C-alpha cells in the first residue's frame, strides 16, 4: 500500500496538472474569442470517461482480494512509478499505473515458498520489469497497442500477446508468476 507521502505527491501532481489545464483553457478563451469552454469540455468528456473506464477494468481484476493472502499493492494515477524489491521478499505484488512509466526491479529480491505473483497493469505508458535470472518463471503479457519484449522474444502491433514458462517452473518449490497487461505503450521484461 502506498504510504502517505506517495498519496500527497500524487495529490500535488494531480492538483498541479488540473490548474495548468484550467489555465490553458481560460487562456484559449482569451486568445480566441470564438472559443467556447463548454463546447470544448463537452467534446473532451468522452475521452476522459473512456480512459477512466479502461483503468478501472484493467486494475480491478488484477488486485482481487484472496482470503489469507497479503498483496502489496502500488498504484499511481499520473507520473512515473518505480518499485525496487532489492533485499525484499516478493510474495504477492500488484502495481497499476494510469498515465506514466512503470519500472519494477526484482533483481535483488527473494522468493517466498510457493507461487509468488507479480500482477501489473497500465493504461498509457511504458512498463519495464527487471527479473533475476535465478527465478523459475512463467509470464503472461498482453497489450492493446504496443510492443511486448522478454529477453529475445518480441511481439508487436495491435493486441500482441506473449506467453513464456521456463522448464524449471512446474517443479520449483519457489517460483514467480508474472501477469502484465497494458492498453497503450511498450512492455519490456528482462532477466539479469
pLDDT tens, residue order, the chain (192 aa)? 444 444 444 455 556 666 777 777 777 777 877 777 677 767 776 776 676 666 555 544 444 444 444 556 777 778 888 999 898 888 889 898 888 899 999 998 999 999 999 999 888 899 999 999 999 999 999 998 899 999 889 999 888 999 999 999 999 999 999 999 988 899 999 999
Task: Read off the pTM.
Answer: 0.65
Predicted pLDDT of residue 46: 72
Predicted pLDDT of residue 102: 93
Predicted pLDDT of residue 42: 72
- Burial (CB < 10 A; 0-12, 13-18, 19+), residue 58, is buried
Beta bridge partners of 37: none
The stretches of the chain forming alpha helices (DSSP H) are: 4-31, 37-60
Q: Which residues contact 177 (CB under 8 A, 6 or more apart)?
A: 115, 116, 117, 118, 138, 140
Amino acid at each position: 500500500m502506498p504510504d502517505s507521502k506517495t498519496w500527497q505527491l500524487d495529490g500535488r501532481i494531480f492538483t498541479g496538472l488540473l490548474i495548468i489545464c484550467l489555465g490553458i483553457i481560460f487562456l484559449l478563451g482569451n486568445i480566441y474569442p470564438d472559443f467556447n469552454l463548454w463546447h470544448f469540455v463537452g467534446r473532451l468528456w468522452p475521452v476522459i470517461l473512456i480512459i477512466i473506464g479502461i483503468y478501472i477494468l484493467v486494475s480491478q481484476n488484477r488486485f482481487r482480494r484472496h482470503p489469507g493472502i497479503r498483496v502489496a499493492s502500488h498504484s499511481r494515477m499520473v507520473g512515473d512509478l518505480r518499485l525496487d524489491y532489492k533485499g525484499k521478499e516478493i510474495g504477492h505484488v500488484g502495481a497499476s499505473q494510469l498515465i506514466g512509466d512503470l519500472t519494477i526491479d526484482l533483481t535483488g529480491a527473494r522468493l517466498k515458498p510457493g507461487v509468488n505473483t507479480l500482477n501489473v497493469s497500465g493504461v498509457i505508458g511504458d512498463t519495464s520489469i527487471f527479473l533475476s535470472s535465478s527465478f523459475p518463471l512463467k509470464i503472461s503479457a498482453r497489450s492493446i497497442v504496443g510492443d511486448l519484449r522478454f529477453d529475445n522474444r518480441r511481439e508487436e502491433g495491435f493486441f500482441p500477446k506473449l506467453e513464456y514458462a521456463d522448464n524449471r517452473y512446474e517443479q520449483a518449490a519457489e517460483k514467480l508468476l508474472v501477469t502484465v497487461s497494458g492498453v497503450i505503450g511498450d512492455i519490456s521484461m528482462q532477466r539479469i
